[in-house]
């Protein structure tokens, strides 16, 4: 077991070492002639307006939150899945309740339309009062 950890460490060190070597070799042999225009942000020939460190659509955040809840749940289910046959009925019922609570939350999110990426014109009209 301890040897396995050592071997894994060795493997990671070799991987990182190889990558660093590739980067250093590239740095030595490649040309380096930067000038101001070359180092500007790419934008299809236009000058970039403003920075990109901006607030973006909140839906991505909602998705990340739901993901977090589900992923934690699934990781919690991992040890259960390994032993549930030995523990018997009680394990099954307990996890069934657990999953059902989670599914109720999922149904709520779904009914709130947080999982809809495109809202229909009717819904937009309801929210904004006009048809955009």
Partner 1 sequence: MNIVLELVKVLFAFVLVMGIVPLLIWLERKISAWIQGRVGPNRVGPFGLLQPLADVVKLLFKEDIVPTNADKGMYFFAPLLAMVAPVILFAFIPFGPDIVLADYTFKLQVCDFGVSILFFMAVLSTAVFAVAFGGWASNNKYSLLGGIRAASQLVSYELILSGSFLYILLKWNTLSFRELIEKQAAYGWTIVSDFPFSLLFFILFFIAALAENKRAPFDLPEAEPELVGGYHTEYSSMKFAMFFMGEYIAITVMCFCMSVMFLGGYHFPGVVDVSGNFLNALLGLAVILAKVFILIFIYMWIRWTLPRFRYDILMRLSWHYLLPLTVILILVKALI
**Beta carbon nearer to partner 1, 52 or 131:** 52
d(CA 106, CA 110): 6
Torsion-angle region of 127 (φ positive above 0: left; ψ -120 to 50: alpha; else: beta)? alpha
Report the C-alpha gap between 113 and 119 in whole angstroms.
Answer: 8
* Rounded least distance, CB 4 to partner 1, Å: 4
Going by C-alpha positions, the residue among 101, 92, 113, 111 that lies closest to residue 73 is 101
As a whole number of angstroms, the distance between CA 65 and CA 72 comes to 11
Nearer to partner 1, 52 or 129 (CB): 52
Work out whether 96 is an interface residue with partner 1 (CB under 8 A): yes
Task: Enumerate binding residues for partner 1 (CB under 8 A).
Answer: 1, 3-5, 7-8, 10-12, 14-16, 18-19, 22-23, 25-27, 29-34, 36, 38-44, 48, 51-54, 56, 60, 63-64, 66-67, 70-71, 74-75, 77-78, 81-85, 92, 95-96, 99, 103, 106, 110, 115-118
């Amino acid at each position: 077991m301890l040897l396995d950890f050592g071997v894994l460490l060795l493997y990671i060190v070799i991987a990182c070492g190889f990558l660093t070597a590739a980067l250093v070799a590239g740095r030595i042999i490649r040309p380096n002639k930067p000038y101001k225009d070359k180092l500007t942000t790419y934008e299809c020939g236009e000058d970039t307006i403003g920075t990109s460190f901006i607030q973006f659509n909140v839906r991505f955040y909602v998705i990340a939150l739901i993901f977090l809840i589900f992923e934690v749940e699934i990781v919690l289910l991992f040890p259960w899945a390994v032993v549930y046959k030995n523990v018997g009925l009680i394990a099954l019922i307990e996890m069934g309740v657990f999953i059902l609570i989670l599914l109720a939350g999922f149904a709520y999110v779904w009914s709130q339309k947080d999982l809809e990426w495109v809202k229909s014109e009717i819904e937009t009209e309801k929210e904004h009062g006009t048809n955009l």
